[in-house]
Structure 1
Amino acid sequence: MGREFLDLFEVWADSYDQSVDGHDKEYAEVFRGYEDILDSVASRAAGHVVEFGLGTGNLTMLLLSRGHKVTGIEPSPAMRKIAEEKLSGRASILDGDFLNFPELDEPRTFVSTYAFHHLTDDEKKEAIALYGKILPVGGKIVFADTMYESKEAFNNAINDAKNKGFHNLAADLEREYYTTIPILQNMLEENGFRSSFTKCNEFVWLMEAIKKE
């Protein structure tokens, strides 16, 4: 459920905002257009928004600026501390993850950025089924995350990172649970969602899924 990566989150908490600003060459393409990616997610949100893996609170701040009620779900104590300092009590920040979280007050949109890949495909399927039960008709899942058009494209990304000497990036790609768009489309369709996928950069795609009647 992603919690096996908690040690990584604790290490990365203090440097995360520098990475998303493009200061880490290995991850520059991963975070290219970061502000636009956040804006794309926020612009699709409606009603009470639940954010999984809010990290240091960057998307949360944008959602709040647009007038949304936001509940953040974050398993990392270090990330929660940074987010709490940024947000100054303007949003509820709860300990939890994509599959385990406190009871929510009629959420309309589930959002997440750069986090869903911490779940295996089986866990992703379980999460989508859970959201399908919680969301009303017209409710949304809006996730921006690294994913691939095919298994071949994923393998090519790993090889490309190694060829560029981006060993940390290659290790991340091999260690975490990146999936493909066809797999996610099938999961969403099976659980009553219609979906669309928009490419943001060479790594990140925006997934918008709307619950059908």
Structure 2
Amino acid sequence: MGLEFLDVFEQWANSYDESVGGQNREYKAVFAGYEQILEAVTERSMGHVMEFGVGTGNLTKKLLDKGLNVTGIEPSVPMRGIAEAKLGSKEIILDGDFLHFPDIINVNTIVSTYAFHHLTDKEKNEAIAKYGKLLSKGGRIVFADTMFESVEDYTNAIVKAREEGFHNLAKDLETEYYTTIPILRTILERSGFTVGFKRCNDFVWLMEGEKQ
């Protein structure tokens, strides 16, 4: 359920904002257009928003600035602490993960950035099934995450990372649960969502599903 990567979250906590700002050359392509990606998720959010994988609170801040009601879910204590300090509040971010979280009612949009790949495909399916029951007709899932059009594209990304000397990126691609667009499309449609995908950079796609 992604919790096997908690130590990774804690290692990233103090350097995450520098990395998303393009200061980590190895991950520069992954975070290309980061602010625009967050804005795209924010633009598509409405009503009461439930955010999974709050991290350091960058998306959360944009959602709050838009005037939306936000409930954040974050399993990492260091990440949660940074986000709470940034937002000036300890009330909107709760302990939990994609599969285990407090009972929340009247949710209109479920969002996440750079986090859903920490679940296996089986866990992704379980999570989306939960969200399908949580959201009413017209409710939305808006995720921005690394995914690939095909298994071949995924394999090529690992090879390219190795060739460029980006060994940490290659290791991440090999060990975390990156999936393909066809698999995600099937998962969402199975739970009653129509879904569309939009490329954001060489790694990240915006996935938007609407409950039918």
Give the TM-score range, shorter chain. over 0.9
Structure 2 counterparts to residues 1-213 of structure 1, below 5 A: 1-89=1-89, 92-212=92-212
2:14 is paired with a residue whose SS is helix
**Separation (CA, whole Å) in 2 of partners of 1:100 and 1:154:** 29
Q: Could you say what the CA RMSD is over the residues aligned between the two structures, in angstroms?
A: 0.8
Q: Partner amino acid for 1:137? A: K
Deviation at 1:105, TM superposition (A): 2.6
Q: Note the alpha carbon deviations across 1:21-48, whole angstroms, 9 max, x for none.
A: 0000000000000000000000000100
**Separation (CA, whole Å) in 2 of partners of 1:91 and 1:162:** 42
Task: State which drifts further: 37-46 or 85-94.
Answer: 85-94
**Separation (CA, whole Å) in 2 of partners of 1:58 and 1:47:** 19
**Separation (CA, whole Å) in 2 of partners of 1:7 and 1:28:** 22
Q: Note the alpha carbon deviations across 1:154-193, whole angstroms, 9 max, x for none.
A: 0000000000000000000001000000000001111100
Q: Partner amino acid for 1:96? A: G
Q: Note the alpha carbon deviations across 1:114-133, whole angstroms, 9 max, x for none.
A: 00000000000000000001
2:30 is paired with a residue whose SS is coil
5+ residue gaps in structure 2?
none
Under a length normalisation based on structure 2, what TM-score does the superposition of the two structures give? 0.99
Q: Tell me which stretches of 4 or more aligned residues in structure 1 moved more than 6 Å.
A: none
**Separation (CA, whole Å) in 2 of partners of 1:70 and 1:79:** 17
> How many positions carry a matched residue from both structures?
212
**Contact 1:49/1:111 (CA < 8 Å) preserved in 2?**
yes
Q: Note the alpha carbon deviations across 1:132-152, whole angstroms, 9 max, x for none.
A: 011000000000000000000
Q: Partner amino acid for 1:37? A: I
Under a length normalisation based on structure 1, what TM-score does the superposition of the two structures give? 0.98
Q: Partner amino acid for 1:122? A: K
Task: State which drifts further: 84-93 or 29-38.
Answer: 84-93
Deviation at 1:89, TM superposition (A): 1.6
**Separation (CA, whole Å) in 1 of partners of 2:93 and 2:189:** 30
Deviation at 1:91, TM superposition (A): 5.5
**Contact 1:151/1:180 (CA < 8 Å) preserved in 2?**
yes
Percent identity over the alignment is 64
Deviation at 1:54, TM superposition (A): 0.5
Q: Partner amino acid for 1:61? A: K
**Contact 1:69/1:91 (CA < 8 Å) preserved in 2?**
no
